[in-house]
Amino acid sequence: MTDGAARLVVDGLRIIVAGSSVDVVDEVTLTVDAGEVLGLVGESGSGKTTVSLALLGYTRRGLVVDAGSVRFEDSDVLTMSADELRQLRGRTIAYVPQDPASALNPALKVGFQLREALTMHGGGDSNRLEVSERMAQVLAEVGLEASKEIRGAYPHQLSGGQQQRIALAMAFACRPRLIVLDEPTTGLDAATQRHVLDTVRGLCRSYGVAAVHVTHDLAVVAEIADRVTVMYAGRLIETGPTKAVFETPAHPYTAGLLRAIPSPERREVLVGMEGQPPRPGHRPRGCSFEPRCDFAVAQCAAARPPVVEIEGPARTARCFRAEEVVRRSLGVGAPVSDVMVSQDGAAADAVLVVAGLVGRYGEKEILHGVDLAVPRGSCVAVVGESGSGKTTLARCLVGLHGNWSGTVAFDSQSVRPLARNRSLKVLQAVQYVFQSPYTALNPRKTIGQLVEQPLAHFYKLAARERTARVVAALEAAALNEDFLGRYPDQLSGGERQRVAIARALVVEPELLVCDEVTSALDVSVQAAIVELLRRLQNERGLSLLFITHNLALVRSIAQEVVVLHEGSVVERGPTDTVLSHPVDEYTIRLLEDVPKLTSLTDSCHVSAVTPV
């Protein structure tokens, strides 16, 4: 299978905005061998998707390849004709998109689409029977039954995980020799993610397929990749074997990413990285990371650091101080014992009490009698996978969803189901932060107007006093008055979420309901937002209901955790107890499925036993 030579060689790839000299990615050089999985890691805007598409000879509208080559088994993908590319794609290079729901044709049955992939690229005049056999085979490979239900289903009738596995099956159907996976597990819950990752890894191993796995999630990379390369602001800043990079990162950015990742195993301070990567066309003359780097010296701002080798040619980094960074082990220096989540005060009265909440959509019961209490000044995390009803719960509590029964009492006063029937006092005291900061801010309003709106509604204040409070709220959310006149689309995702938090804070609420507030954000930003919430809780005595699918995050913020499974609470208790000694079967499985950085060290040192 393995022929020894590198399958894919990218050399000096430079992609620019057409008609300008603004580079989106530059100096991208990498190789992938047969049977090897390369993890391409980067936060949003780093250019990782641009690179991954270039591997298939594709550039998005408005972008052109300016220099460099993408050589796949001795042919240059970038100089191929449209016909040659069509031959290449699907058959020899396959692509698995981020969002399977939009990649599968919603009007065709998945069996038909799979059959099409097999007959188009499958080679030769395959007859129906043969194709059916192959189809059963590829479906089995991704852990799906080739049953009528699956083959005859339209994409929307399948779950997200099943859709993604269909997409995987289509990609692997023609035995490609290179497969490009663009964040294939984003948006899947832990168990499905685990299964998809195992599938990819297994298929790559057994068929000698070279794979490039693009992701922003370092923990996923730790699980799947043999080698990893980290992208920042359009350049590869560190490349090396996964284990080495994660144990002793050589670039401060990699180290920062590692520090930002929450761990379900121990309570630690998440260190976010302030600022955001420079956009194309606004990159500094020196190192792109220099403005955010704690480790920068004068040299970093003056000149672009060269690529240096670390302990041999297998590891490279683009940093003047790489050797020093390796020696200091910056990435694993996260303080573990500094308990920042206060444990006291839990005996206080409850600000929110939920009893026997039954939530429905139409006739269908989603929540089956949920009981919950949020003690004043503490943070309760509600954890569950997609479909567990956690978002429905949040929407019932804040009054967005009115079809529920049971009691929800705020400050011992029970509240009506819908927000429009609740008193202004309750609406002001319970604030909701939406999941996606990209949709929660009106794009036609300035930040100032957005934050001011609830304030002006709840309090009659003079204009000057109002502005002062708006600025104070922005500052509490680690923004400043420069933002007042800006519009949401001028802000990064993290900044937008801070604005959403500031909008909640400005009316001085007692309880903040945070619905998956970090799931749309990069890890470094996620860490910063979690830190912000924790600080607010400590400083202001704010009570938090923190809803998340990410068990790892829970340790970093919550005093208590409630595990929700299919609309029922299956386990609850103090965070440490639940996470260290889970009792319920479901919780145990959930914990096992979380991708962990440490599983890497497990599998490398002890050479086995990752839980499946």
Binding part of the chain for other proteins, among 43-51, 74-82, 232-240, 328-336 by CB under 8 A, reads 43-51
Of 161 and 494, nearer to other proteins (C-beta) is 494
Sign of the C-alpha dihedral computed for residues 126, 129, 135 and 136 taken in this order: negative
Q: Which of 319, 313, 184, 183 is nearest to 240 (CA)?
A: 313
Is 234 an interacting residue with respect to other proteins (CB under 8 A)?
no
Of 100 and 448, nearer to other proteins (C-beta) is 448
Of 1, 462, 463, 606, the residue at the interface with other proteins (CB under 8 A) is 463
CB atoms within 10 A of CB 446: 16
CB 369 within 8 A of CB 343: no
- Give the footprint of other proteins on residues 60-119 (CB under 8 A): 60-62
Q: Shortest gap between Cβ of 484 and other proteins (angstroms)?
A: 5
* Per-residue binding letters, 149-188, with other proteins (x by CB under 8 A): ----------------------------------------
Q: Shortest gap between Cβ of 419 and other proteins (angstroms)?
A: 5
Is 362 an interacting residue with respect to other proteins (CB under 8 A)?
no
Is 454 an interacting residue with respect to other proteins (CB under 8 A)?
yes
Q: Who's near 97: CB < 8 A, 6+ residues apart?
A: 103, 167, 182, 184
Binding part of the chain for other proteins, among 112-120, 262-270, 456-464, 527-535 by CB under 8 A, reads 456-464
Using CA atoms, how far residue 217 sits from 45, 193, 197, 339, 420, in Å, is: 14, 12, 13, 25, 40
Of 34 and 471, nearer to other proteins (C-beta) is 471
Number of residues that bind other proteins (CB under 8 A): 53
Q: Shortest gap between Cβ of 71 and other proteins (angstroms)?
A: 26
Beta strands in 58-192 (DSSP E): 63-72, 75-76, 93-96, 178-182
Of 238 and 452, nearer to other proteins (C-beta) is 452
Q: Shortest gap between Cβ of 193 and other proteins (angstroms)?
A: 19
Of 357, 440, 542, 569, the residue at the interface with other proteins (CB under 8 A) is 440
Q: Say how far apart CA 94 and CA 503 lie, in whole Å.
A: 44
Is 422 an interacting residue with respect to other proteins (CB under 8 A)?
yes
Instruction: Beginning with the edge strand found earlier in the chain, give each strand of the sheet holding 316-317 in spatial order.
Output: 93-96, 178-182, 210-215, 37-41, 227-232, 235-241, 316-317, 308-309
- Give the footprint of other proteins on residues 3-22 (CB under 8 A): 17-20
CB 249 within 8 A of CB 238: yes
CB 275 within 8 A of CB 291: yes
Q: Who's near 228: CB < 8 A, 6+ residues apart?
A: 38, 39, 40, 41, 221, 239, 240, 241, 242, 245, 246
Phi, psi of 457 (to 5 degrees): -75, -40
Using CA atoms, how far residue 152 sits from 54, 115, 158, 166, 508, in Å, is: 34, 12, 11, 12, 53
Binding part of the chain for other proteins, among 57-65, 129-137, 305-313, 376-384 by CB under 8 A, reads 57-65
Of 58 and 458, nearer to other proteins (C-beta) is 458
* Per-residue binding letters, 374-413, with other proteins (x by CB under 8 A): ------------------------xxx-------------
For 92: left if phi > 0, alpha if psi spans -120 to 50, otherwise beta; the answer is: alpha
* Per-residue binding letters, 478-497, with other proteins (x by CB under 8 A): ----xxxxxx-xx--x----
Is 282 an interacting residue with respect to other proteins (CB under 8 A)?
yes
Residues that bind other proteins (CB under 8 A): 17-20, 24, 44-45, 49, 60-62, 279-280, 282, 398-400, 419-420, 422, 424, 427, 432, 434-436, 438-446, 448-449, 453-454, 457-458, 463, 482-487, 489-490, 493, 503, 520
